[in-house]
A and B are shown apart, each in its own frame.
Chain A
Amino acid sequence: MSRQVPLGDAPLSRIGIGQPVWDLSVRLVHWLLAALIGFSWWSAEYGHTDWHIWSGCAILALLIYRFLWGFVGSSTARFASFVRGPRVIARYLRGGWIGLGHNPLGALSVLALFIAVAVQVGLGLVSQDEDGIYTGPLYRLVSSDTSDRARDLHAAWFDVILALIVLHLAAIAIYWLRGRNLVSPMITGRVEPEAGTEPMRPGKWWVALVCVAIGIGITRWVIAGAPPFSS
């Protein structure tokens, strides 16, 4: 550290104290996903279809991993802990909700993004390009016409993802203006302690390794064309 920050002025989350909110898995998946979505856009836009396909496969592995971690991971990573019904969302909007992790409204955004990216990967897997040069690893599971339609939808569906990203960034900006920084917890994993919230229960490292292995294993099987379904 070349620059000394007076302790009193530094936000708690930046100096390693405060309470844990996002474990390493959640943060790594978040930033890798952001980077890979950016790379996927760039590689498609500039004709690097081969890299684009690999990027999509990497996203698939990430999604599988994050999906599993959503059931067996740390408490704030679990779907069961943050996916709430309309009543809780209404209570949150009235200011009567306290908790650690995704708030009930933000959870909808998380789910929407997750599902939208999963749909995008699914469409890409069965797509073929216009020239018959590049194909998604599962393109032979569907007809040639379906692969063409999947490609067109895949291109159009990016606008849905883009809209959700804009919403995501707008929400971060609004919280920022209201005095709440959501970006630094996603980097440091910590947030200023709030009274009346239960602490995060961390996940187990070996469970994370098992989930990584499953994610990579399924992805490799998909890359191989999901034998024996496409022969």
Chain B
Amino acid sequence: MRAALFAVTASLVLVACGGPQTSQANNVQANMSNTASPPATAAASPAPAPSFTPVSGDQAKQVMHERHEGMETIGKASKAIKRELDASTPNLATVRENAAKIADLSQKASGWFHAGTGPDLGKTGAKPEIWQNEQDFAVKLADFQKAAQAFNAATTGNDVNATKSAFGDLGKSCKACHDKYRSEMHH
């Protein structure tokens, strides 16, 4: 009798622990196929390490352009998310859509910081310090990428507080890098 009770309790605990995880994974899949922008596999795999290989000429200009547009899109998405999360009844669809956008672009950011794309080449907010501290920069970029993935995953549920908390972590990862590696020259 006691053994049976124990077995029932144990299986209940297992179900309780396993339940949310599997359903979360399902949600990620569902969400990804809904928004259709980033493939589900991209969100699940770890972000590639940033490439600092030097580029020049048109290729460098292209990287800077892509970086500028990408950062601007991330900023806009983040603003849209904050507006929803600060509302009394947040529109979670808007949050999810923009969270997926940020998660996708955060992966692409690994290719935005090739050497030779600093302020020497043109107007940019990227400080030369990035390429003087490549290791530290790579850590901060990875933190951002992880936070973007975690936030994207958090938005799939309906727990607004968990979403807000993950969004707070994402903001911290933005700020950590921007404080050190972004100048005011990017306007």
Contact = CB atoms under 8 A, between A and B. Distances in A.
Contacts of B179: 47
A131 interface: yes
A140 B77 CA distance: 16
Interface of A: 47, 128, 130-133, 135, 139-140, 144, 147, 225, 231
Interface string B72-85: 00011111111100
A136 to B, nearest CB: 11
A132 B178 CA distance: 13
Contact of A131 (B80, B87, B88, B175): B175
Contacts of B92: none
Nearest to B79: A132
B82 A231 contact: no
Contact of B81 (A132, A147, A225): A132
A231 B86 CA distance: 8
Contacts of A133: 78, 82, 171, 174-175
A161 to B, nearest CB: 19
Contacts of B80: 132, 144
B75 A130 contact: yes
Contact of B82 (A47, A130, A135, A225): A135
A225 B174 CA distance: 25
A193 to B, nearest CB: 52
A139 B79 CA distance: 11
Contacts of A225: 86
Contacts of B76: 132, 144
Interface string B171-183: 1001100110000
A187 B82 CA distance: 44
A132 B79 CA distance: 4
Nearest to B179: A47
Interface of B: 75-83, 86-88, 171, 174-175, 178-179
Given A47-B179, A231-B88, A131 B83 contact: no
A144 B75 contact: no
Nearest to B186: A130
A131 B77 contact: no
A3 B81 CA distance: 62
Given A131-B171, A133-B175, A144 B79 contact: yes
Given A128-B79, A131-B78, A231 B87 contact: yes
Given A132-B77, A133-B82, A135-B82, 13 more contacts: A47-B175, A47-B179, A130-B75, A132-B75, A132-B76, A132-B79, A133-B78, A133-B171, A133-B175, A135-B86, A144-B76, A144-B80, A231-B87
A231 B87 CA distance: 6
B70 to A, nearest CB: 13
Nearest to A46: B179
A231 B88 CA distance: 6
Contacts of B174: 131, 133
Contacts of B88: 231
Nearest to A47: B179
Closest 8 CB pairs of A and B: A132-B78, A132-B79, A133-B171, A132-B82, A231-B88, A131-B174, A47-B179, A144-B79
B86 A131 contact: no
21 contacts: A47-B179, A128-B79, A128-B82, A130-B75, A131-B78, A131-B175, A131-B178, A132-B77, A132-B79, A132-B81, A132-B171, A133-B82, A133-B174, A133-B175, A139-B83, A140-B86, A140-B87, A144-B83, A147-B79, A225-B86, A231-B88
A138 to B, nearest CB: 11
